[in-house]
């Protein structure tokens, strides 16, 4: 009876290290006088509990990952982008972001800072538990072949010093020829995984269907909670949905007032795919000479002045009111604070401004389908016009 009581009161989330001998002994039946028999009972019980824990964690992994991967996504609507965050900036930026209330961090191998960001996570002075932080990373183009997908993910996990990802995306719908790497070494010695040699290294023999099946296997193994895509046009999404066992929960694409992608947004909404906007401010730190400056647009500046907010806040609020999630990169404390219009519970912060219908309609008139990220310019030798 005493042992049965202990089994019912045992929390399977508790590790065996929490089961102290003096917590077990008082529950043994007082009639048990033989010391050796008592020890045998105790050790048999611990072995039984260990088995229960093992079964519990296997079931938890299957239920919470494979099944939930295709259900409603609980993801913060505003995240911190890390493209361009230098290794030296990683620790202070991550610490500052966690302290401010950021709970979503968007990273990628081809940003070449996952090792430093992982160290920042590990050494963070904030007491935020891992389960409250949403981490997204991406599959780089050289690792699209099915046999390379899991090793690439495990490399990212090792760099980030994490046991799992909340979201893993196919970064671009184009495969490159495989680049060898040492999975035991954290970080990257060079930038070969982001080199296409103007398209000469594109590998047209790799099927997205095969890549996606390998992505689904990562969910089955509990290595990632959710999977999705980035930079996918409607036609590729439509095809992917026809054969996927686990549907993509996110499509991360370039969206800002000059590239509004209204038809893609409508399609994703109809298929329950969350659209996450990257470069929501028009990449002010990366645009080339002669390119338009979203943050200098007269109309956006007028709306910002009317609401007494920054142009960046107008752009972010516009995306949020269209139903998008956003990832905004900044390592400037003031800008990081400005960009955080919603808390991690997806509630607007105190004082957040709502744009009027008239504001939204005026901003809609700015669309010119202008992209700052144009892969056809990068891959001139083997042009792959992803968005045309």
Alpha helices in 170-274 (DSSP H): 208-220, 234-243, 262-270
- CA dist list (Å): 316 to 53, 162, 232, 255: 45, 29, 22, 10
65 is annotated as an active-site residue: no
* CA angle (89 as vertex; 288, 345 as ends), nearest 5: 90
Tokens, residue 53: 């824990």
Q: Are 253 and 275 spatial neighbours (Cβ–Cβ below 8 Å)?
A: yes
CA of residue 48 relative to chain centroid, distance:
37
**Residue 138 backbone dihedrals phi, psi, to 5 degrees:** -140, 155
What gap in Å lies between CA 252 and CA 168, rounded to an integer? 11
Strands 274-278 and 325-329: parallel
Q: Pick the catalytic residue from 8, 39, 56, 111.
A: 111
Whole-number Å distance between alpha carbons of 367 and 19: 62
Kindly state the tokens that stand for 149: 């997908």
Match 């070494």 to its residue by tokens: 185
In angstroms, the CA 276 to CA 264 distance is 12
Structural tokens at position 215:
């992505």
Catalytic residue positions?
111
């Amino acid at each position: 009876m005493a042992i049965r009581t202990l089994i019912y009161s045992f929390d399977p989330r508790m590790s065996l290290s929490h089961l102290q001998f003096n917590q077990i002994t008082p529950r043994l039946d007082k009639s048990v006088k033989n010391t050796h028999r008592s020890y045998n009972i105790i050790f048999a019980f611990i072995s039984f509990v260990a088995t229960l824990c093992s079964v519990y964690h296997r079931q938890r992994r299957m239920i919470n990952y494979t099944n939930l991967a295709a259900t409603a996504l609980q993801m913060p609507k505003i995240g911190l982008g890390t493209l361009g965050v230098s290794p030296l900036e990683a620790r202070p930026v991550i610490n500052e972001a966690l302290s401010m209330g950021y709970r979503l961090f968007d990273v990628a191998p081809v940003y070449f800072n996952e090792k430093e960001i992982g160290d920042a996570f590990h050494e963070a002075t904030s007491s935020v538990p891992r389960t409250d932080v949403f981490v997204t990373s991406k599959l780089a183009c050289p690792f699209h072949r099915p046999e390379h997908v899991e090793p690439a993910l495990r490399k990212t996990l090792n760099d980030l010093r994490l046991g799992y990802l909340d979201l893993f995306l196919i970064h671009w719908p184009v495969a490159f020829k495989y680049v060898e790497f040492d999975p035991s070494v954290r970080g990257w010695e060079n930038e070969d995984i982001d080199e296409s040699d103007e398209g000469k290294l594109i590998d047209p023999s790799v099927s997205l269907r095969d890549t996606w099946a390998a992505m689904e296997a990562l969910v089955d193994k509990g290595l990632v909670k959710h999977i999705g895509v980035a930079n996918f046009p409607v036609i590729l999404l439509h095809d992917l949905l026809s054969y996927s066992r686990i549907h993509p929960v996110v499509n991360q694409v370039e969206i800002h007032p000059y590239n509004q992608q209204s038809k893609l947004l409508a399609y994703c909404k109809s298929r329950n795919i969350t659209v996450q906007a990257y470069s929501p401010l028009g990449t002010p730190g990366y645009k080339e000479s002669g390119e338009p400056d979203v943050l200098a647009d007269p109309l956006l500046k007028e709306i910002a002045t009317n609401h007494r907010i920054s142009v960046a806040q107008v752009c972010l609020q516009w995306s949020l009111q269209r139903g998008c999630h956003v990832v905004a990169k900044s390592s400037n404390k003031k800008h990081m604070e400005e960009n955080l219009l919603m808390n991690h519970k997806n509630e607007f912060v105190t004082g957040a401004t709502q744009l009027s219908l008239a504001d939204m309609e005026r901003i809609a008139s700015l669309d010119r389908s202008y992209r700052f990220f144009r892969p056809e310019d990068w891959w001139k030798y083997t042009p792959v016009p992803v968005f045309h």
